[in-house]
Amino acid sequence: MEWEVVIGLETHTQLKTNTKIFSGASTAFGAEPNTQACEVSIALPGVLPVLNREAVNCAIKFGLAVNAEIAPRSVFARKNYFYPDLPKGYQISQYELPVVGKGAVTIQVPAVGKNPAYEKVVNITRAHLEEDAGKSVHGAVEGMSGIDLNRAGTPLLEIVTEPDMRSAAEAVAYAKKLHELVQWIGICDGNMQEGSFRCDVNVSVRPKGTEKLGTRREIKNLNSFEFMQQAIEYETRWQIETLEDGGTIQQATVLFNPDTGETRSMRSKEEANDYRYFPDPDLLPLEVTEADKARVKAEMKESQEAIKTRFETQYGLNAYDVNVLTASRAKADYFERVVIGCGDAKLAANWVIGELSALVNRLDFYSENPLADNPPVDANDLAQLLNRYKGGNLNRAQAKEVLVDIANQSFSNLGETVDQIIARRGFVQISDSGAIEAIIDEVLKANPAMVEEFKAGKEKAFNALVGQAMKASKGKANPAQVNEILKKKLS
């Protein structure tokens, strides 16, 4: 029998607000345990939640970005369960009335083997606001478990899809797209290692061609796309084998073990909690007006799709370049600043995608922090360098050396300007026609054989003569002028 896998995702995106969703405590990552746990985070007796409107704005941004319905009135509910890292004994979430309703995301599923790449629409069921829990810390104190409540109350937007995906590749393509999107609209830093973007994947299988959904198992807390791919592939195989062996699938929550590449059941449906959801009486219903939406919309910059189209038409860039340059909002902004500074989009694209990316990749090898979105070369400096390069002040090899120097400057804070680096390196070009002519006369005199070859019709000999002239000038001659004068002399 041929089987079909059906996949839906629930993604917890940590919202990029300065303070927690229901208190003024900081959300910064990596602080000493419990130093960002205010009286509300600890759930002292008598404390009350106050909604952070910034978190709501993030939800509205997401809703607008996926063309979703944004509820004029949504309700916060309490999800009741006991756990040491859940200080109130309930999580404030949204249940029956979420802030974001139905929407959709278009994904590009890459080619796999003989199967070509294709586009697909994944429907968003809902997205709701909720607070994160704290963390249990094991091993800090011998024989005891510790609780760190720094993360408790961090705002999350849980984004739920319809069971629209039909392969691990589609699920991963969706997750990557969503990951890109939430960073693009600036609501999430996308850091999967720090848990800012966590995916739960619901997987079921059914005989191909049938309508009825199979029983699903939920793979919890996948924090890399690679693991997601592996986990879904394993889980799919396991479910198909189980059914083909005459077994049945029990609804369950499973964990993926990256070491073994297997999924294992954590708890079955029978063990599931009754969360006793009810509207939180401490919070009024959340109201989002048309004016709120308009205000957020005005704050939002161009969508990724819009900027792609614009880069193609306005700058005449090809699809590959556009995709690379719009991989993130930061990259697109950077590119545009270089374009504005040097007035040449193609040149800017070449250098941002080529030399700058190569440099960043080399540096990244040694660096703990990804530099891709924050290159060590200021866009204005790169534009200035390209202006000098374009003006013929220095050649490509020299410009590359200056680029490295600019990057080093940013680490050492020496404060040298682009022109100072060019001067220090002695990359001031010889543009004096008389001086160049003198050099070329010397070269022609010293290489009569090459001159003969050129006259015999060998074009290559011309380049060799240019090379000799550049060498004689120690690379300082303006290459354009060398070409021009040499051509004149040989004609």
Partner 1 sequence: MMNRSLKQFGEMLQTKKISSVELTQTFLARIAQHNPSINAYIALDEAKSLAQAKAADALIAAGKASPLTGIPIAQKDIFCAKDWPTTCGSKMLANFVAPYDAHVITQFDAVGAVNLGKTNMDEFAMGSSNETSYFGGVKNPWDVERVPGGSSGGSAAAVAARLCAAATGTDTGGSIRQPASLCGFSGLKPTYGVVSRYGMIAFASSLDQAGPMAKSAEDCALMMNVMAGFDERDSTSLNREKEDYTRDLAKPLQGLRVGLPKEFFAEGLDASVGKVIDEAIAAYKKLGAEIVEISLPNTGLSIPVYYVLAPAEASSNLSRYDGVRYGHRTAEYTDLMDMYCKSRAEGFGAEVKRRILIGTYVLSAGYYDAYYLKAQQIRRLIAQDFVEAFKHCDVIMGPAAPSTAFKAGEKVDDPVAMYLQDIYTISTNLAGLPGMSVPAGFSNGLPVGLQIIGNYFDEARMLNVAHQYQQVTDWHLKMPQGIE
Counting Cα atoms < 13 Å in the Cβ hemisphere of 420 gives 8
Q: How many angstroms separate the CA atoms of 384 and 296, rounded? A: 35
Least distance (Å) from partner 1 to the CB of residue 138?
A: 12
Q: With beta carbons less than 8 A apart as the criterion, state whether 81 and 276 touch.
A: no
Q: Is there a contact between 227 and 198 (Cβ–Cβ < 8 Å)?
A: no
Which CB sits closer to partner 1, 283 or 371?
Answer: 283
The pair of three-digit structure tokens given for residue 222, joined into one six-digit string: 């996948």
**What minimum distance in Å lies between the beta carbon of 139 and partner 1?**
16
CA 283 to chain centre: 34
Other CB atoms within 10 Å distance of the CB of residue 244: 10
| In the complex, least distance from residue 136 CB atom to partner 1, rounded to whole angstroms | 10
Residue 145 Cβ vs partner 1, minimum distance, rounded to whole Å: 8
Q: Where are the alpha helices (DSSP H) in 43-149?
A: 53-65
Alpha helix (H) residue ranges in 222-344: 225-244, 290-299, 304-315, 319-325, 329-342
At closest approach, how far in Å is the CB of 81 from partner 1? 9
Q: Closer to partner 1 by CB, 78 or 151: give it.
A: 78
Structural contact between residues 198 and 11, judged by C-beta atoms closer than 8 angstroms: yes
Residues in Cβ contact with 193 at an 8 Å cutoff, skipping those fewer than 6 apart = 223
Q: How far is the CB of 42 from partner 1 (least distance, A)?
A: 6
Query: With respect to partner 1, which residue has the nearer C-beta, 77 or 182?
Result: 77
**Considering beta carbons, is residue 42 or 327 the nearer one to partner 1?**
42
Residues that bind partner 1 (CB under 8 A): 39, 42-51, 78, 80, 82, 84, 87-90, 147, 274, 276-278, 281-284
C-alpha distance from residue 103 to each of 126, 220, 292, 474 (Å): 7, 23, 19, 62
- Token duo for residue 58: 């993030």
Residue 476 near residue 429 (C-beta atoms within 8 A): yes
Task: Spell out the residues 6+ positions from residue 103 whose beta carbon is closer than 8 angstroms to its own.
Answer: 63, 66, 67, 68, 69, 123, 124, 127
Nearer to partner 1, 24 or 343 (CB): 24
Q: How far is the CB of 40 from partner 1 (least distance, A)?
A: 9
Pick the closer one to partner 1 by CB: 39 or 299. Answer: 39
Nearest to partner 1 of 136, 420 (CB atom): 136
CB nearer to partner 1: give 273 or 417: 273
DSSP string of 369-418, one letter each residue: S--TTS-SS-HHHHHHHHHHHHTTSS-HHHHHHHHHHHHHHHHHT----H
Toward partner 1, which CB reaches closer, 39 or 69?
39
d(CA 383, CA 69): 42
Which one, of 196, 200, 107, lies nearest residue 160 by Cα?
200
Q: What is the CA radius of gyration of the chain?
A: 30
